[in-house]
Amino acid sequence: MIAEFIISALLVIAGIFALVGSYGLLKLPDLMTRLHAPTKASTLGVGGVLLASMGMAIMKGGVSWHELLITLFLFLTAPITCNFIAKAWLARNRGETVLPATGTARDWATLDMSEAPMEPRLTEPGQPGRPS
């Protein structure tokens, strides 16, 4: 009975997160604010449903790896997709003049393999960046 209560609570919490994420996707004003709602709240909503499904499978005596793999895939791909969409929006809608400085000769934070790689080195105690 306690396990069924936990599974029910997971489903209700997941439904609330999915509802809030969907509402945010519809009502927030622009892409950059809309991006937050589905990648955070809806991901937690789907994750809660998958955790409840795994709990139900365990209650019935089996182990369900499908839900675990789906959850892992979802939690790995949602932030990466969000980052790609945000970078594409920044590159398209904000000109090069309003991008923040990268600290290099390039105007966008990208990997440039033409520069010599930075070699790691040990510092002695008492030098900047190292405790005495």
The pLDDT, as a whole number, for residue 36 is 79
CB 86 within 8 A of CB 35: yes
Q: Does 125 fall in a domain? A: no
In a domain, 127, yes or no: no
111 is a domain residue: no
- This prediction has a pTM of 0.60
Low-confidence ranges of the chain (pLDDT < 70): 95-100, 106-118, 120-132
pLDDT of residue 122: 66
Domain of residue 6, residue span: 2-95
pLDDT of residue 68: 82
Does residue 6 form part of some domain?
yes
CA distances 16 to 5, 19, 37, Å, are 16, 5, 13
DSSP conformational letter for 95: -
Is 38 domain-assigned? yes
78 inside domain: yes
**Tally of structural domains, the chain:** 1
Q: Is residue 12 part of a domain?
A: yes
